[in-house]
Structure 1
Amino acid sequence: MLLESALPGRWRFRLRGTRRWDRIALMVCAVLALTVGLLSRQDTAQHLWGVTAAGGYFFAALIAARSSVAWARGPAVTAVVGSAVLPLVRLTMINKAQMEVGVVERGARLLLSAGSPYQETPHGVRDFNPYLPGMSLFGIPHALFGDRLWTSARWWLVLGFLVVLFSAGRLIKKRGSKTAGHRAPALWVLWLTACPLVALPLAIGGVDPTVVALLCLGFTFAHLGLAGRAGLVLGAAAALKWTAWPALPVVIAFLAARGGRRHAMNCFVGAAGFSLAAVVPFILIGPQGFLENVVLYPFGLSDTPSTAASPLPGYLIATSFPHGKSITVALLTLAAVTIGISLLWRPPQNVIAATDRLTLGLAIAIILAPASRVGYAIYPILLLAWPRLLLLQSIKPRSPGKKDTDRPLSQRL
């Protein structure tokens, strides 16, 4: 009713016909963005994003109401521009970003000057670098060329997200079904980018969109039976942040169930080789610095409390009960063992089952971790949406039959 009353009379009839979820979704996004803006302090990047993005979503809803096609390109582009592009440009111009941007850029400077992105004895919050070594690569342009508009790590993180996700979409289009009626993968990528949980970290300089985009690409390769490539992509994600590591056993179990041990081993070798080659040298260079920065601090086990401290159950347990951190670690260990047993006992047979299993594990970790934040919800949201919106609509796996079992997995999918 709110949207209908705001529209010209000749547009209102469009809202009274068949229910259109794109318009409803855009109005919900506008309300969520405005809520974030109003509840955030006026001097924060979240406030500026919320106020700007709310207008972008509202105008996208108006365009969707005018369109006769659901989930069309026009509203998607408008939503992306209003919720991600405009806030990103404005925040860059006023030099305001999430703390992660400074962490990545400082890690790159340390990498070039000292050979490691980590301080051996960090003291304050700003001294810590909780990311794995690969993340510092996004700060190299800033370290080399100084503080310029295009050198900010936030731009390179956004570029990494877009390149990876659109590459996955291009792969889907190339390998996909030719059945009429399937939406272009690039269009669904735009709609996923417009989601507030994605647009917000993209605009303010979050690092998680790039990591989860690599996970989506890895699952795409796994769905196609390209096990070695899936392993390399997942290894690249694992070289950026710990949040990517739970995907490795899930994808390996999925490939073993669908294609046999050889496919699982190809994925494992690719992932382990890439990630260990990126991480182990820095463990050897400075083991104490690596332990303090990458293990103790992000898991809430350091003497310095992590800034990732949303009031989720794990944080509340860790701060409210005696030996609370030990309790949360025990709960996380129990959950990890349970998920691991489920992968052995009943491995996922398709890509939706695989992403759902990973989503469950990540959701439990987000809830129970002593240092976590609500923004990590980008992982379950994208991992739930990606196979349903793109993979299964665009790539139709063949049902394996008796004559099909001897063919390579990449041909059977």
Structure 2
Amino acid sequence: MAAVWAAAFPVVSSLGPHRVWGASACVGYLCAAVAVLSRRSLGRAVSVWIAGIGAVLVPLVVLVLTGGAQSEVGVVERAGLLTVRQGTPYLADPQAVVEVTPYLPGMALFGLPGAVVADGWEPLRYLGDARLWCAAAFLGCLWAAGRVLGARACSQSPARRPRRPARTLATPGGNPSTSSTRASARRAESTHRTPRTPHRTLRTRPRGTGQLVGAALIASPVVALPLAVSGVDLPLTGLLCLALALAARHRPVAAGLALALACSLKWTAWPALAVVAALLAHRSGLGAAVRGTGVAVAGTVLAVLPSALLAPGPLVEQVFAFPTGRGEWETPAASPLPGRLLADLGPFGWYAAMTLLAAGGVAVAVSLWVRPPAGLVPAADRLAVGLCTAFLLAPAGRFGYLALPVLLSVWARLAEAPSRVAPARSRVVAAGSAARPVLVGGDR
């Protein structure tokens, strides 16, 4: 299926980077399928590596060396250069749509390496490509989120089974019981003994399967395509994953810091504030939710405030008006989604789309209040629903935006599964030890 999806890009796409990715990824996915069908012991692991090389490594290297990329890569690199020169990533008077910066100031961080090596040695300039740093941030956030979840799972190791005291069966005369009485006692105890659960039923995954599944997720089209041709949404996705993982593990301040970084990249991350606050309130209490939200809001304000003071007009025009279809330049995000189709009907359609968008946001907020998420997976699903609603009903959008909520939902399920192994084992051992009755206690 992935090979068929990739094969369509060289045929139907009008964008050169997409065609390059489609051709390379199609070959990689086909070779990966052959490796799986080989039925060798290492076929699955080898197939994942082949898919990653064909869908991620080869197209990324080719596009970086040839300078092929979507327009937003150049926008981010220019934002970093402008931040170094004037302190703000926005041009005061853009002359073309490619000169508009529709991101919050935090996104300029991924353009700073390009600004540093812009006038340096020619081979060194390739290291300034914003996609490389976006990919590094995304992979680093996923690794950190996995460490947070894994550390929690390891801390829930099963307790050591206590030693049972010696048992003697008392007789009416005070003498020790005979051998036949002991045998009957052992038979009576065996009828109440809980059978030991085999070790193989406690392990939900073989060792190394988690890393293999994570590599398969990165090699999938939902990650490989944006990573190779653009990558600007990947840091946002990685930070949201990290914030959800930290909130699920009772770390409100760290979750707030991750949220602050995400919210300073794009304002589409702002709905995550409500989801993370609801998750913290349910799992750690109202105080933790207040602390996490306060850190997130304060950090976002500190990141955006310098640009808001230096260039308030360009910031509002390019970050908020332009993506919603109300700016001077028409946004290239024009996929035929419901909100876009409504906005094309004129001013009335635009207001109708914005009304539906607001209603969808209110509905998600009410659901968080009535039934707050109790764990990582429900929180990721609720955030994914909110983002899908926003992307579908926004006056301007593109199909590629939907990869973000899909990735959030899939990642949460893959990341949470290994952490269930230790708690399950602990419950079984505790149940087994508690089920054994002691007839008559005594000391050795």
Q: CA deviation at 1:358?
A: 0.9
Q: Deviations for 1:161-211, whole angstroms, at most 9, x for unmatched residues?
A: 112112222333333357634354432221111120210010012311111
State how far apart, in whole Å, the 2-side matches of 1:389 and 1:308 are.
31
Which residue identity does 1:345 align to in structure 2? Answer: V
Corresponding residue of 1:166: 143
State how far apart, in whole Å, the 1-side matches of 2:217 and 2:331 are.
29
Once structures 1 and 2 are overlaid, which stretch shifts more, 338-347 or 177-186?
177-186
Q: Quick one: which of 95, 98, 102 aligns to 2:67?
A: 95
Corresponding residue of 2:191: none
State how far apart, in whole Å, the 1-side matches of 2:326 and 2:350 are.
7
State how far apart, in whole Å, the 1-side matches of 2:41 and 2:347 are.
57
Unaligned 5+ runs, structure 2: 158-201, 425-444
Which residue identity does 1:166 align to in structure 2? Answer: W
Runs of 4+ in 1 over 4 A off after TM superposition: 67-71, 395-399
Residues 1:219 and 1:396: Cα distance change in structure 2 (over 3 Å): farther
Corresponding residue of 1:182: 205
Q: Verify the 8 A CA contact 1:33 1:54 in the aligned structure 2.
A: yes
Q: CA deviation at 1:73?
A: 2.7
Q: Verify the 8 A CA contact 1:138 1:156 in the aligned structure 2.
A: yes
Once structures 1 and 2 are overlaid, which stretch shifts more, 362-371 or 117-126?
117-126
What SS is found at the alignment partner of 2:55?
Answer: helix
Which residue identity does 1:319 align to in structure 2? Answer: D
Does residue 378 (structure 1) correspond to residue 350 (structure 2)? The answer is no
State how far apart, in whole Å, the 1-side matches of 2:301 and 2:58 are.
38
Which residue identity does 2:86 align to in structure 1? Answer: A
Identity fraction in percent: 39
Once structures 1 and 2 are overlaid, which stretch shifts more, 100-109 or 296-305?
296-305
What SS is found at the alignment partner of 2:139?
Answer: helix
Corresponding residue of 2:12: 39
Q: Quick one: which of 281, 289, 294 aligns to 2:306?
A: 281
Which aligned pairs between 1:301-316 and structure 2 lie closer than 5 A?
Answer: 301-316=326-341
Q: Verify the 8 A CA contact 1:301 1:325 in the aligned structure 2.
A: no
Which residue identity does 1:173 align to in structure 2? Answer: G
Q: Verify the 8 A CA contact 1:166 1:186 in the aligned structure 2.
A: no
State how far apart, in whole Å, the 2-side matches of 1:191 and 1:274 are.
34
Q: Verify the 8 A CA contact 1:165 1:189 in the aligned structure 2.
A: no
Q: Quick one: which of 336, 358, 364 aligns to 1:339?
A: 364
Corresponding residue of 1:116: 88
Paired positions, count: 372
Q: CA deviation at 1:305?
A: 1.0
Residues 1:71 and 1:163: Cα distance change in structure 2 (over 3 Å): farther
Q: Quick one: which of 223, 233, 241 aligns to 2:266?
A: 241
Corresponding residue of 1:232: 257
State how far apart, in whole Å, the 2-side matches of 1:64 and 1:143 are.
44
State how far apart, in whole Å, the 1-side matches of 2:421 and 2:256 are.
22
Q: Verify the 8 A CA contact 2:204 2:421 in the aligned structure 1.
A: no
Q: CA deviation at 1:396?
A: 6.0
Residues 1:182 and 1:172: Cα distance change in structure 2 (over 3 Å): farther
Q: Verify the 8 A CA contact 1:209 1:378 in the aligned structure 2.
A: no
What SS is found at the alignment partner of 2:203?
Answer: coil
Residues 1:74 and 1:169: Cα distance change in structure 2 (over 3 Å): farther
Which residue identity does 2:205 align to in structure 1? Answer: H
Q: Quick one: which of 240, 258, 262 aligns to 2:283?
A: 258
Q: Verify the 8 A CA contact 1:36 1:47 in the aligned structure 2.
A: yes
Residues 1:282 and 1:38: Cα distance change in structure 2 (over 3 Å): same
Which aligned pairs between 1:145-156 and structure 2 lie closer than 5 A?
Answer: 145-146=117-118, 148-156=125-133
CA RMSD after TM alignment: 2.1
Residues 1:228 and 1:71: Cα distance change in structure 2 (over 3 Å): farther
Unaligned 5+ runs, structure 1: 1-27, 400-413
State how far apart, in whole Å, the 2-side matches of 1:70 and 1:330 are.
53
Q: Deviations for 1:240-295, whole angstroms, at most 9, x for unmatched residues?
A: 11221111101101110122111111211221122111112211111101101111
Q: Verify the 8 A CA contact 1:52 1:82 in the aligned structure 2.
A: yes
Corresponding residue of 1:7: none
Q: CA deviation at 1:39?
A: 0.8
Which residue identity does 2:354 align to in structure 1? Answer: V
Residues 1:34 and 1:267: Cα distance change in structure 2 (over 3 Å): same
Once structures 1 and 2 are overlaid, which stretch shifts more, 233-242 or 159-168?
159-168
Which residue identity does 1:182 align to in structure 2? Answer: R
Q: CA deviation at 1:297?
A: 0.7
Q: CA deviation at 1:66?
A: 2.4
State how far apart, in whole Å, the 2-side matches of 1:40 and 1:253 are.
41
State how far apart, in whole Å, the 1-side matches of 2:9 and 2:236 are.
24
State how far apart, in whole Å, the 2-side matches of 1:360 and 1:93 are.
38
TM-score (norm 1): 0.85
Which aligned pairs between 1:63-142 and structure 2 lie closer than 5 A?
Answer: 63-67=35-39, 72-142=44-114
